[in-house]
Amino acid sequence: MSRQPKNWATHSIRPDTNVHAAAGFALDPVPQYGLPMANHLSSDQVTHYQRDGFLFPLRGTAAEEALQYRTSLEAARASHPELMQGVEAQKLHLVTTWMADIVRTPTILDAVESLIGPDLLCWSSTLFVKPADGKSFVSWHQDGNYWGLSNPEIVSAWLALSASTVESGCMQMVPGSHEWDTTEHNETFDADNLLSRGQVMKREIDSSDAVDLVLAPGEISLHHVNVAHASAPNNSTDDRIGIAIRYVSPNVKQRLSEKDSATLVRGEDRVGNFEHEERPAHDFEPAAMSRLAHIVARRKSTVYQDTPQ
Ligand SMILES: O=C(O)CCC(=O)C(=O)O
């Protein structure tokens, strides 16, 4: 491992020392607070999120459950490789029952509810599979720059299905960067960049200012739509697998198109800015597959602006 995860000392949320020590991480000798269950966040946790623009690690699912989800994902990667890459690798919760369960996980929804309220729509779920090829990476970016959403009542929950470590290229975030103005991005279309257009912030980022969001399988991080984040290549021997679930309040509106859709996962939608999506009854059933194709085609022509991937 080239470097140790840093900056945990500045966070009151402590990693689970057993899990993380087993993964070979050096931990500073602080009292063990244990790993908080996600559920509703404490006011301290909300304060940390509001200050930094992110919060981690929280338990999203049990480690064994994460392993089962990974098994389901690996089977789907084998049977439907065309849905696992680039812009296509989104909204699998509309065609697989296990992903439909993931985006409705009560512990994850409790944590998100603490930040944006009790009415929650899942706007997207995106697979971030980073192969152990030492090449694929994610450049510094702010999600809010290109999603077209009207206001920041949005939270991304990133669920680890494999160990997300410094070695495997965990996410890195700059504390407080969600308060910066959304900065302009260049589009590089770099083939090794996992982002659809290889977006890179024009503002120079000093990665020594960033925090490494190390997660064990089943843990989640939460991040703000405008926080600056990136991730380095995977130099481990296993794929680094994460699912980024984007939750929005019904108050949010898509500005790039008349129509956009989302899945109501908790509470009520009293506003009606989004068409509501259906839960699949079975994996990859034809009707759900054609609904997904329509929804992804619309996203491609708006949010992703006919990105070739
Ligand atoms: O998985 C990664 O490394 C990046 C994910 C990301 O950019 C996001 O969830 O917004």
| Per-residue model confidence as pLDDT tens digits over 241-290 | 999 999 999 999 999 988 999 999 999 999 999 999 999 999 999 999 99
pLDDT tens for 186-212 read 888 888 898 878 888 989 999 899 999
Where do runs of H (alpha helix) occur along 80-159?
A: 97-102, 106-116
Report the CATH architecture of 8-301: Sandwich (2.60)
Residue 229 in contact with ligand 1 by CB distance below 6 A:
yes
- What confidence score (pLDDT) does residue 196 get? 77
Positive or negative, the CA dihedral 57, 63, 67, 68 is: negative
Amino acid at 199: Q
- What confidence score (pLDDT) does residue 185 get? 85
CA 140/CA 228 separation, integer angstroms:
6
Residue 138 in contact with ligand 1 by CB distance below 6 A:
yes
CA 239/CA 168 separation, integer angstroms:
8
Cis peptide before 36 (omega within 30 of 0): no
Residues 6 or more apart whose CB falls under 8 angstroms from that of 204 comprise none
pLDDT tens for 122-145 read 999 999 999 999 999 999 999 998
The alpha carbon of 23 is separated from its chain's Cα centroid by a whole number of angstroms, namely 22
Residue 143 in contact with ligand 1 by CB distance below 6 A:
yes
CA angle, 215 then 122 then 281, to 5°? 100
> What is the atom index within ligand 1 of the atom nearest the CA of 128?
1
Q: How far is the CA of 173 from the centre of ligand 1 (A)?
A: 10
Mean pLDDT of 236-244: 97
The domains of the chain are located at: 8-301
Amino acid at 253: K
Candidate of 55, 126, 128, 172 to mutate for ligand 1, largest count of ligand atoms within 8 Å of Cβ: 128
Report which of residues 171 and 38 the model is more confident about. Answer: 171
**Which 3 state secondary structure label does DSSP give 124?**
strand
Widest Cα–Cα separation across the chain: 54
> What is the atom index within ligand 1 of the atom nearest the CA of 170?
3
> What is the atom index within ligand 1 of the atom nearest the CA of 137?
3
Decide if pLDDT at 11 tops 90.
no
Residue 289 tokens read as 């597959």
- What confidence score (pLDDT) does residue 234 get? 97
Judge contact between 122 and 265, C-beta under 8 A.
yes
Amino acid at 62: A
Category of 128 on φ-ψ map: left (φ > 0), alpha (ψ -120 to 50) or beta: beta
Residue 150 tokens read as 């009207």
